[in-house]
Amino acid sequence: MRARGSLGVTCCVLLQAAAVALFLRGFFPAPVRSLNRPAEIPVEPNAGGISNWTSLPPPLFRRVVIVLIDALREDFVFGPKGKEFMPYMTHIVGKGTSHSFVAKATAPTVTMPRIKALTTGSIPGFIDVIMNLNSPALLEDNLIWQAKTAGKRIIFYGDDTWVRLFPKHFVEYDGTTSFFVSDFTEVDNNVTRHLNNVLKREDWDILIVHYLGLDHIGHLTGPNSPLIGPKLSEMDHILKKIHTSLLSKESDNVLPSLLVLCGDHGMTEAGGHGGSSDDEVHTPLVFVSSVFDKKEGYDKPLELVQQTDLAPTLAVSLGLPISRNSLGKLILPVVEGRTMREQLRFLHLNGFQLSRLLKENMPAYEKDIGFQQFKTAEKSHGNWLKLYLDGNTSEVLTNLGKKVLKQYLDALKMLSSSLSKQVAQYDLYSMMVGTAIIVEILFLLLLSIPKGLGSSAELEVPLSSPLFSLLFYLMCLLLSAIHVIVCTSTENSCYFCTLSWLIAIGVMILISGLFCVILSLLGKMCANSKSLKKQGPLASGSDWSELDVLLLVGTVGHVLTLGSSSFVEEEHQTWYFLINTLCLALSQQICRKYFLVKNSDVELSPSGSKGYEDANESFSSKDSDIYSMPESDSKINKLNTSGLFKHYEKWITMASPWVILICCRLLRSLNQTGVQWAHRPDFGHWLTSSEQKAALSLLSAVSLGMIFVLVQRRCSLVSKIALALGLLGIYCYRSAIGNVVFPWQQDSQGISKGIIEARFVYIFVLGILFTGTKDLLKSQVFTMDSNTKSRGLWEVYSGLVLLTALLFRPHNLPVLVFCLIIQTIMMTFIWNLLKYDAAQITIMHYWFGQAFFYFQGNSNNIATVDISAGFVGLDDYIEIPAILLTTVATYAGPLLWAIHLICYLSSETIRSSSAKGHGCFCYALLRSIPITVYIILVTSLRYHLFIWSVFSPKLLYEGIQAFVTAAICVFFTAMDKN
């Protein structure tokens, strides 16, 4: 079977995207889980007598108030900002009745996984970063469920993620959406308005408030925004109100209350979160209660605890069982005011729960050091308890108690560490099935290069012989047998085994068929090579130019760097180096074109440029997808005959690569990315500071004007008007939300959400896209007019540019301007002049697209994803539009260059009908190689130290880009008339 044009390639890419999804489902492991059995309460260990303490200890506090401030970074409380803007908490931490810690979260540092960690004590799976957009109900054992079961009345106000995780657990609640990041006032006022009433009441035991405003400010303007200080002061006033209210209701005959201040995660210097930098994982954890001793100073360094330690500590404080899946350790200072027997009882309960969890998840648990230490501590505990029950009150009993205490703490630390290492339980079967399909698709594309880049741009798939071969049926039988064995014998459930048998059999047939097709293609290639050898030796000359070698070596070299964590963290440096080297190579080829030719060719007559045309023949002889055109049909040749341009053409063309180099260097200074230099200030930070709002406003206005000039030249009149009004609406939107100002705007003017202005822009985006789509349908179905098709494609591209300008933050608009400038320069002075073929042009588009992904400020860290772009023009969280807008904003660079590639190759006046097929095939191959190699690498490195902090975020980026590539190839196919 032969698939014409880009249809076969698109089918391959869609299959590959599905296989990537299957691999991702298997790669991101499920957390350690305990068996669903009732919680077992152990008795006190006793070496001789009988313990009279066989139930859970009584609660230590009557009421608990948990104040969770989203994105509360450590230095916001314990650093200079805390001293300046949170004076009450600074006093409590330094000289009050409190215990303060730095709680360390684990990646991914996004809200929903962190809430799970705080309430269950477990480490959520990394895939929870995706589920964060649609949190399902939490079914595993957790603190909230235990409290509800014990009859405690829980009230909640704040982030509605809690309401989705714990439905029907709260006697009273008011949830606010956590995803509308442009709101940082009402979202907190909706929480605070309930406090006065609820603090006066006596009908509750646990109050949880989750404030979102600080996180939203961070996403919008970063941690150094002038809005941070007032928000911290607001939170300090609320904490003071809660604390004083709790103290006023305490008396000698009732248990004290406990106030807990914590954050779910921090934020980077750019305002994002999701990764594993210190600013993201270090959060404050403060316990405040009148039962604690009053401090005399604030000189003692803060102790580092794990965020998962809060769950067992609160469970003990409330007299509840510790969650079965908790990996946390009891924070001893919270209970150190109790008697030695009570403290040892608390630590024994924690150690028993951790050792049982280890026993259920590790076959060789008895050899674990932590388990052995726990058994030793348990034995010593029994000896201490025997002395205690016998009435011994000597110093020996005290010293033995301190020794047992230390033994328990060491055992808890080792048990928690051993369990944390068991989190990575991969679904290897699903991973292997997905990898098999991905690798086979890559081999099929590689073996199809001669046909895919040939004159007919075909993808040859010889199905007839493989489908009727014995090997095909044997492969199907073998894979089916493996599937039955794995799915019936495995103890851990595999996702692929949960699919229907019809789907599983279809996948087995697909894998077997692709394997036989690859073998058939290999056989044909061997036969062809033998026949060529019999015909005689091949010509010694090679058609490979220096540029071809550079493009090949650069593409392969980038793939090889993916095995290094440092290269993954600093991948932007690789792409910056490649495009700079490409510009130098283009400059060398332009110099060769103008200077390294025969003297007779260099001399130009005043009326034309025949010598250059003769020199161009050597560049275009091997390009099967470029028509040989008369001079009257070429726009570039028309430019060459113009009087003024004729004399300066050579120098303008020679300067073009250097102009591109200058643009790229300026873009590198705009956004620092990666890890090594991310903390350094850049031009973007300077622009977004409050003192430079006038400069940012001027830059935004100039950028929007240049966007109009660069885009409108090929649009229809209606689209030009829509584009101009849309760009004006973008400036109005940014002014409405306070990013930029009009010259006549007063500083005291209120800041709105800009919903009306953003929707005003959306109308013009949809209008331009509709106009372009109408022209495309008209050219494809009715008129077959190439000019109409070219205009329609450009208007679709213009609509995408307008949408990107709306989603980009104002300081990033120069990225879009330079993208358009570079595309214009390359198209006008380089690609047409040097007559590159479709494959070479596709690789150049791909390289620049990847570089512009990082020019935007993106990295392989989830914290750099600008989620605020997903809520432009929305007054509520709507899942699908939010995901689509965030994806477009994140991958704007690759998308714009890919659509520009389609526009350029679809210009039938200079390209043959096979050009789009070549471009689609080459683009699919360029994306298949890195994703395939990287999936193999992360499988082999799945127990690497940096697997969750470096390799997994990069895998998510690659996985999403696989779906973006599939969408691009579908668009290629729609534009390919073949």
Asked if the structure places residue 572 within a domain, the reply is: yes
950-977: pLDDT as tens digits: 888 899 999 999 999 999 999 988 887 6
pLDDT digits (tens, 9 = 90+) for 522-556: 888 887 777 666 655 444 444 677 888 999 999 99
Residues 6+ apart with CB under 8 A from 719: 712, 767, 768, 771, 772, 795, 798
| pTM metric for this prediction | 0.74
CA distance 833 to 826: 10
pLDDT at residue 629 in the model: 39
Are 672 and 683 in contact by the 8 Å Cβ rule? The answer is no
pLDDT at 680: 76
645, 774: one domain: yes
Sign of CA dihedral 158, 162, 164, 169: negative
Are residues 295 and 408 part of one domain?
A: no
Beta strand extents in 265-341 (DSSP E only): 282-288, 303-306
Are 464 and 597 in a shared domain? no
Cβ neighbour number for residue 254 with a 10 Å cutoff: 10
As to burial, measured by CB atoms within 10 angstroms (0-12 exposed, 13-18 middle, 19+ buried), residue 535 is exposed
358-382 burial string, b = 16+ CB within 10 Å, else e? beebbeebeebebbebbeebbebbb
Q: Are 56 and 319 in contact (CB under 8 A)?
A: yes
DSSP codes joined into one string, 851-864: HHHHHTT--SSGGG
Question: 283 in a domain, yes or no?
Answer: yes
Q: Which amino acid is at 956?
A: L
b vs e for 192-209, b when ≥16 Cβ sit within 10 Å of the residue's Cβ?
A: bebbeebbeeeebbbbbb
Distance CA 473, CA 484 (A): 17
The confidence score (pLDDT) of residue 616 equals 38
The token pair at 202 is 């006596």
Amino acid at 422: Q
Task: Please report, for residues 73, 231, 824, the alpha-carbon distance to residue 216 in angstroms, rounded to integers and kept in the order given.
Answer: 13, 11, 38
Q: Match 């296989």 to its residue by tokens.
A: 19
Respond yes or no on whether the N-terminal peptide bond of residue 108 is cis (omega within 30° of 0).
Answer: yes
How high is the pLDDT of residue 949?
Answer: 75
State the total domains in the chain: 4
The answer to whether residues 356 and 453 belong to one domain is no
Residue 970 counted as domain residue: no
Which residues make Cβ contacts (< 8 Å) with residue 319, sequence separation at least 6? 56, 57, 58, 59, 60, 150
- Rounded to whole angstroms, the Cα distance separating 308 from 328 reads 5
H or E segment to which residue 158 belongs: strand 154-159
In a domain, 892, yes or no: yes
- Lookup: tokens for 219: 């996403």
- How far CA 496 is from CA of 127, 225, 433, 730, in Å, comes to 17, 47, 8, 46
Say if residue 416 is in the same domain as residue 563: no
Q: For residue 471, what are the domain limits?
A: 2-28+428-535
Asked whether residue 923 is domain-assigned, the answer is no
For residue 631, the model assigns a pLDDT of: 37
Token couple for 62: 């009557």
Do 419 and 432 have their domain in common?
Answer: no
d(CA 419, CA 893): 41
Whether the CB-CB separation of 324 and 330 falls below 8 Å is answered with no
**506, 535, 564 — which closes off a domain?**
535
Same domain, 524 and 588: no
Query: Residue 48: which of 390, 351, 374 has the closest Cα?
Result: 390
Instruction: Report the pLDDT value the prediction gives residue 271, as an integer from 0 to 100.
Output: 80
Domain closes at, from 880, 911, 942: 911
Q: d(Cα 602, Cα 201) in Å, to the nearest integer?
A: 93
Q: Distance between CA 393 and CA 591 in Å, rounded?
A: 95
| 96 and 132 share one domain | yes
Low-confidence ranges of the chain (pLDDT < 70): 1-5, 29-40, 47-54, 125-136, 178-183, 296-299, 422-425, 463-468, 490-493, 531-543, 596-647, 679, 744-752, 783-785, 908-913, 945, 977-978
Strand partners, 102: 284, 304
> Residue 926 falls within a domain, yes or no?
no
Same domain, 21 and 156: no
The answer to whether residue 450 is domain-embedded is yes
Residue 950's SS3 state is helix
Whether residue 916 lies inside any domain: the answer is no
Residue whose C-alpha is closest to residue 604's, from 649, 567, 662, 549: 649
Measured distance CA(211)–CA(233) in Å, rounded: 13
Amino acid letter, residue 247: L
Does residue 396 sit in the same domain as residue 445?
no
Pair 487, 394 in one domain: no
Q: How many C-beta atoms lie closer than 10 Å to residue 738's C-beta?
A: 18
User: Please, are residues 109 and 90 in contact by the beta-carbon 8 Å criterion?
Assistant: no
Last residue within a domain, chosen from 475, 500, 535: 535
Query: DSSP letters of 776-825?
Result: HHIIIIII--HHHHHHHHHHHHHHHHHHHHHHS-GGGHHHHHHHHHHHHH
Backbone angles phi, psi at 34, to 5 degrees: -95, 160
Q: Are 776 and 789 in contact (CB under 8 A)?
A: yes
Task: Examine the domain organization and report whether 289 and 168 are in the same domain.
Answer: yes
Q: Using CA atoms, how far apart are residues 224 and 439, in angstroms rounded to an integer?
A: 46
Q: What is the pLDDT of residue 633?
A: 38
How far is CA 509 from each of CA 14, 502, 512, rounded to the nearest angstrom? 17, 11, 5
CATH number of 98's domain: 3.40.720.10
Which amino acid is located at 929 in the chain?
A: I
Cβ pair 223, 229 in contact under 8 A: no
